[in-house]
Amino acid sequence: MVPWYRSYIIPFGLAVIAFLIITTGGWIRINDAGESCPDWPTCFGTWGFDVSADDQKEWWEENPDEIDSRGGTHRYTTYQIFTEWAHRALVGVIGILVAYSHYTAWSLRDKIGNKVYKIHFVSSMFLIMQAVLGYVTVDLDNAPWTVSLHLFMALIFTISLITVGFVWWQEQSGIPETLRIKKISANLKKYIGYMAIIVLVQLMIGAYLSTSYHRAACGIGFYSGWPLCQNSIIPVLKQFGTILNYGHRLSAIVVGGLLLYVEREARNEFKDSKSIVTKMLEVTGLFYFVNIVLGGLYVVTAADGEFRGWLSLIHLLVGACVFLTLATIYLLTNLTATKEENVSN
């Protein structure tokens, strides 16, 4: 029996850590701590997080070019600094573990083949790109587009680890029958792939909105701010923020309808309700419609321009689960269904 630390369990465990990194990234944002470690990879020139107000003042005086949008007189709490420090620490931990996993896949290539190692190499490159984007995000004072791009790469890195895990599993012992998709139409497979891409784009737009002043472009409060926008079904679309916010809401409705359509197609194709495709699409639909409600609550519960950060974080994580579930379904259709088994409608 292969020990767990030399098996496909490793990349799946790394995917869980990657999701925790996404979580801590959102945790940083809701605590307004995106610049609480202004330098990288150190934090105020140290490797710890307990940086006093006097130490911060001294560091700002020595590094005036690093002063962020809050100004050189702003002081971060130890808690805020810890959130950024913990995020970076997790990145460091996963970096070491990815290197170990990469080496393990290479050392087992005579048993599991070169395919696992090659895919793992791509995943490792994604981690490096993610670290670079993390630096860019800090350097550009958490500009909304950098936060959005950082989230994009984090999700791509996470699904790449899941891909490594399933391919490794397939080559090492074979994926269980309960996870196999023996036959799927070309159209349904294509729809699932498209839905994953669309949801990913939606997540990036949502991240942009939540880190910019545009999140209140449609107003706040029940009815006038949500489900309406500026107290109207169709608001005046002159400002970029209003267009982006309103477009994000409309696309959420459209995507929800498309998900229902794809789920119906899956039920028609897989008469057996126990099909992994049907089950996972049902879970995806549940996540998605819960997330629409969470997005609404985020706007409705805002008061005096202040939004509830914890709702924003949950909204992000549930949205991430929607993407990862869709992407995993698409992955399984490619991995467990042979070309001969794929049929067209």
Tens of pLDDT, residue by residue over 149-177, are 999 999 999 999 999 999 999 999 889 88
Q: What is the pTM of this model?
A: 0.90
Contact criterion met (CB below 8 Å) for 330 and 164: no
**DSSP-derived secondary structure letter, 229:** B
Residue 88 has pLDDT above 70, yes or no: yes
Contact criterion met (CB below 8 Å) for 72 and 60: yes
State both tokens at 154. 């984090």
Contact criterion met (CB below 8 Å) for 142 and 34: yes
- Which residues, in sequence order, are bridge partners of residue 232? 229
Residue with tokens 């680890």: 161
- What is the model's pLDDT at position 20? 94
- What is the Cα–Cα distance from 126 to 123, expressed in whole angstroms? 5
**Average pLDDT value over all residues in the chain:** 89
Q: What are phi and psi of 33, to 5 degrees?
A: -115, 20
Domain ranges of the chain: 1-174, 178-345
- What is the Cα–Cα distance from 156 to 173, expressed in whole angstroms? 26
pLDDT band of residue 272 (cuts 50, 70, 90) is low
3-state helix vs strand vs coil in the chain, percent to 5: 70, 5, 25
Q: DSSP string of 268-333?
A: HH--STT-HHHHHHHHHHHHHHHHHHHHHHHHHT-BTTB--HHHHHHHHHHHHHHHHHHHHHHHHH
- What is the Cα–Cα distance from 118 to 122, expressed in whole angstroms? 7
Residue 277 has pLDDT above 70, yes or no: yes
The CA distances from residue 214 to 6, 146, 219, 242, 247, in Å, are 47, 16, 10, 7, 12
pLDDT band of residue 345 (cuts 50, 70, 90) is very low
Q: What are phi and psi of 46, to 5 degrees?
A: -120, 175
